[in-house]
Amino acid sequence: MAKKKSIGTQDIIRDSINHIPLRITDTTLRDAHQSLWATRMRTADIMKIIDVVDNVGYYSLEVWGGATFDVCLRFLREDPWERLRQIKSRAKKTPLQMLLRGQNILGYKNYPDDVVERFIALAIENGVDIFRIFDALNDTRNLEVAIKCVKKYGGHAQGTISYTVSPVHTVDKYVAIAQEQIAMGIDSLCIKDMAGILSPIAAERLVSALVRETKIPIQVHSHATSGMASATYVESVRAGAGAIDCAISPMAGFSSQPPVETMLAIFSETHYHANLDQEALRKVCKFFLELIPTRQLSAHVADNIIDPEVLLHHIPGGMISNLRGQLAQQGALDKIDQVFEELPKVRADLGYPPLVTPTSQIIGIQAVMNVISGDRYSLVSQEVKDYAKGLYGRSPAPMDKAVIKKILGTEKPISGRPADLLQPMLPDATEGVDPKLIKKEEDIISYCLFPEVAMDYFKWRALPPEQRSPIPADVELKKQMDSKNPPSAPAQTATPFLAQSDYNSISQLVDKVSALNFSQITIQHGGSTISINASGVTTGPLVSAPVAAAAAPVPASTTAPAPTAAPKAAAPAAAPAGPSVNAPLNGTFYRSPGPGKPEFCQEGDEMAEGATVCIVEAMKLFNPIKAPYRCKIVKLLIPHGTPVKKDEPMISIQKL
């Protein structure tokens, strides 16, 4: 009897007859550090290695996307356009690729067509060759203008299936989505498995169906989160996908892409050839390995290499690290399991949207709010309202009627393409902005997409270098370094009792203090004192009082119920005499909806019950805060743009 050959052997035999090129996109400079480093890679890091990366032989380099853009401005104090230009000036051989959120561009909502068009034109001018264009809801109406513009300005338009698992997401549905995009003129199609939940068998079925029903070149993008991605790539390529997304090994695995080195080794025994330069890969690998300690923030990294839970909660990689960071900001990292439990319920309520930006934020943060407030949908961001209204597009399945009623009240959802409701934005986009702050057209686009963040950056940039505040990412990094190497000097100087970086412990202490109903706890240690009250920590002057810990019971809170959260003991220093509107969660307090827009209220104004009095931005979403009853605004307690802690009084009011 003839010896049975393994499949691998058959492929090697076929190899001598038939070479099939395998295209590999490197995601190291975008998705990988978004998934593992909360997008904290610097342009300077990239420029140190870009020549080597360009010589690897990749099909394309994914270098740009929404989080990259946002984090550049917000945390790195860099101009994302400048990053793109710098990369382009050196990466001469490999096409540059970006991830475009269709009509959302790089943001979290739909933008008018004029902004989409100028953004794409400028992105091409500055160096983007390939646009992977996706819509979180797979609503093709949100891709139409972006695809048309990419073609118009000479780019490669890659359409996208945002992959998810739900009762309504069948292979036939995905093929239909692909066909709609092909009719719009896409050059290739990506199956975007942002959460790493595409199983090898499902991939084989989906790719086979797409190959059978369409002629479009197929690329597969997955995340290693659940441990399936490498096998998924093998099955996808065998079924006819011509391209896969990988990252260099130190930037791979966990919630990032599968490692390129591993995939090369696997495919080396087949007739699919990527032809990458192994020596160059080794150099790139060494470079990023050495960079990890100064770029990876421990708060953003998952504990487990493999997270089987993702198969239940379906949260994409970038979102997991963000969710951790955001829960840490809320002092609620211990609630992450509850959030993971709540998330699939919220998703079902809202018609099974795939979880990818912006729906991942919308659904994820609604789950966070449902858990933190303890009352489902009592706290609802503007974004969730807009979603329920249909302003993001069609939900894949009908939404839960009772939940919609709770979110929308008497308002009615829209029909038609959401962006049709939007007026052109560019003509007066920078009205009221100091013209000295805007240097080029790209700045106007940055400002349209991220008004507050871009304005902050422009103002910072306009200052002489010696007057600029420290770069936020440097501050984070220093905190992390300090907490790893706590100063060993005795506490005879003004060294803080608690490491400044230890915000998590501090938040937990604050929660405990408020739960115990003490107004304040003062801890004295080694010549330093620290006072903790319900609104935060104030390090007192150095005293030599022998008191180790003094706690004073707090009188019954005089603060009226906040519109959206149960009151806790408020900080005595900040507490107003009468009732107040308190922050429902940690975030940033805004008196108006945006720069140049009128404030929601002024001192002395009379507000109707339910009228918006301010906004608390938390976790990148804007939460309108309502008047709890008909009231008079007595005092705006904190300035516009100030960080607030959960339950901190923001506006003192008087009931009418």
Euclidean distance between CA atoms 173 and 138, whole angstroms: 10
Q: What is the layout of strands, in order, in the sheet containing 621-626? A: 621-626, 612-618, 587-590, 642-644
In the complex, least distance from residue 182 CB atom to Co ion, rounded to whole angstroms = 22
Render 591-621 in DSSP notation, one character per residue: SSSSTTSPPS--TT-EE-TT-EEEEEEETTE
In the complex, least distance from residue 368 CB atom to Co ion, rounded to whole angstroms = 21
87 touches Co ion by CB under 5 A: no
Euclidean distance between CA atoms 320 and 353, whole angstroms: 17
Instruction: Name the residue among 114, 118, 134 with its Cα closest to residue 62.
Output: 134
Show the site string, 189-228: x = touches Co ion by CB under 5 A, - = not: -----x----------------------------------
In the complex, least distance from residue 190 CB atom to Co ion, rounded to whole angstroms = 10
CB closer to Co ion, 145 vs 218: 218
Contact (CB, 8 A) for 237 and 272: yes
In the complex, least distance from residue 239 CB atom to Co ion, rounded to whole angstroms = 20
Tokens 């942002």 belong to 194
In the complex, least distance from residue 328 CB atom to Co ion, rounded to whole angstroms = 22
CB closer to Co ion, 194 vs 252: 194
Closest residue by beta carbon to Co ion: 31
Instruction: Name the residue among 115, 107, 117, 147 with its Cα closest to residue 131.
Output: 147
Q: What part of residues 166-195 is at the interface with Co ion (CB under 5 A)?
A: 194
Tokens 């307690």 belong to 637
CB closer to Co ion, 317 vs 396: 317
In the complex, least distance from residue 34 CB atom to Co ion, rounded to whole angstroms = 8
Contact (CB, 8 A) for 484 and 465: no
Number of residues that bind Co ion (CB under 5 A): 2
Q: What part of residues 360-389 is at the interface with Co ion (CB under 5 A)?
A: none
Six-digit token string for 91: 């990466």
Six-digit token string for 467: 């007057």
Q: What part of residues 272-311 is at the interface with Co ion (CB under 5 A)?
A: none
Euclidean distance between CA atoms 5 and 2, whole angstroms: 9
CB closer to Co ion, 194 vs 369: 194
CB closer to Co ion, 77 vs 132: 132
Quote the Cα angle for 627-631-634, to 5°.
Answer: 100
CB closer to Co ion, 181 vs 256: 256
CB closer to Co ion, 132 vs 169: 132
> What ranges make up the beta strands (E) of 68-173?
96-100, 130-133, 156-162
In the complex, least distance from residue 31 CB atom to Co ion, rounded to whole angstroms = 4
Q: What part of residues 25-54 is at the interface with Co ion (CB under 5 A)?
A: 31
CA 85 centroid distance within chain: 24
In the complex, least distance from residue 253 CB atom to Co ion, rounded to whole angstroms = 14
In the complex, least distance from residue 248 CB atom to Co ion, rounded to whole angstroms = 15
Which of the stretches 24-32, 77-85, 327-335, 373-381 binds Co ion when contact is defined by CB under 5 A?
A: 24-32
CB closer to Co ion, 101 vs 118: 101
Euclidean distance between CA atoms 551 and 519, whole angstroms: 8
Q: What part of residues 400-429 is at the interface with Co ion (CB under 5 A)?
A: none
Antiparallel, parallel or unpaired: β 606-607 and 649-655: unpaired
CB closer to Co ion, 31 vs 45: 31
Six-digit token string for 315: 């949260």
List residues near Co ion by CB under 5 A.
31, 194
